[in-house]
A = this chain, B = another copy of it.
Amino acid sequence: MERPRHQGMAKNTYMRWRLPLVCLLWEVAMIVLFGVFVRFSPEADAHWEEEKREMNLTSDIENDFYFRYPSFQDVHVMIFVGFGFLMTFLKRYGFGAVGFNFLLAAFGIQWALLMQGWFHSFKSGKILIGVENLINADFCVGSVCIAFGAILGKTSPIQLLVMTLFQVTLFAVNEYILLNLLHVKDAGGSMTIHTFGAYFGLTVTRILYRPNLEQCKDKQGSVYHSDLFAMIGTLYLWMYWPSFNSAISDHGDAQHRAAINTYCSLAACVLTTMAFSSMLQKKGKLDMVHIQNATLAGGVAVGTSAEMMLTPYGSLIVGFICGIVSTVGYVYLTPFLESRLHIQDTCGIHNLHAMPGLIGGIVGAITAAAATEDVYGKEGFIKAFDFTGAYQTRTPSVQGGFQAAGIVVSLLIAFAGGALVGAILKLPIWGDAAAENCFEDDIYWEVPEDEESDAYHMHNPDKPASP
* Distance A313 CA – B30 CA, assembled complex (angstroms): 8
Contact B235 A47 (CB under 8 A): no
- Category for how many chain A residues contact B: 35 or more
Residues of B within 8 A of A288 (CB): 95, 99, 445-446, 448
Contact B235 A102 (CB under 8 A): yes
Residues of B within 8 A of A16 (CB): 278-279, 281-284
* Distance A317 CA – B35 CA, assembled complex (angstroms): 10
Closest to A269 in B: B106
A383 to chain B, nearest CB (A): 7
Contact A73 B240 (CB under 8 A): yes
Q: From the candidates B39, B225, B275, name the one contacting A19 in the complex (CB within 8 A).
A: B275
Give per-residue flags for A210-231: 1 if the beta carbon is below 8 A from chain B beta carbons, else 0: 0000000000011111011101
A33 to chain B, nearest CB (A): 8
Interface-located stretch among A260-268, A388-396, A412-420: A260-268
A326 to chain B, nearest CB (A): 15
Contact B451 A456 (CB under 8 A): yes
Residues of B within 8 A of A384 (CB): 46
Please list 18 pairs of residues, one from A and one from B, whose beta carbons are closer than 8 Å in the complex, sorted by A's number.
A20-B274, A31-B268, A34-B264, A38-B313, A44-B256, A46-B381, A48-B253, A49-B379, A49-B383, A61-B66, A63-B253, A66-B67, A76-B239, A84-B231, A110-B316, A223-B451, A285-B445, A451-B459
Identify 5 new A-B residue pairs, CB closer than 8 A, beyond the known A81-B232, A102-B295: A23-B271, A24-B271, A31-B320, A49-B380, A65-B259
B-binding residues in A (CB < 8 A): 14-17, 19-21, 23-24, 26-28, 30-31, 34-35, 38-40, 43-50, 52, 58-67, 69-71, 73-74, 76-77, 80-81, 84-85, 88, 91-92, 94-95, 98-99, 102-103, 106-107, 109-110, 113, 129-131, 134, 157, 221-225, 227-229, 231-232, 235-236, 238-240, 242-243, 251-257, 259-260, 263-264, 266-268, 270-272, 274-276, 278-279, 281-288, 291, 295, 309, 311-313, 316-317, 320, 375-377, 379-381, 383-384, 442, 444-456, 458-459
Interface of A is mostly: helix
* Distance A242 CA – B73 CA, assembled complex (angstroms): 9
Contact B451 A276 (CB under 8 A): no
Contact B73 A67 (CB under 8 A): no
A444 to chain B, nearest CB (A): 6
Contact A14 B451 (CB under 8 A): no
Residues of B within 8 A of A64 (CB): 256
Contact B379 A19 (CB under 8 A): no
Contact B256 A131 (CB under 8 A): yes
* Distance A24 CA – B84 CA, assembled complex (angstroms): 31
Residues of B within 8 A of A281 (CB): 16, 446
Contact A27 B228 (CB under 8 A): no
* Distance A276 CA – B61 CA, assembled complex (angstroms): 42
Contact B34 A239 (CB under 8 A): no
Contact B20 A279 (CB under 8 A): yes
Contact B456 A286 (CB under 8 A): no
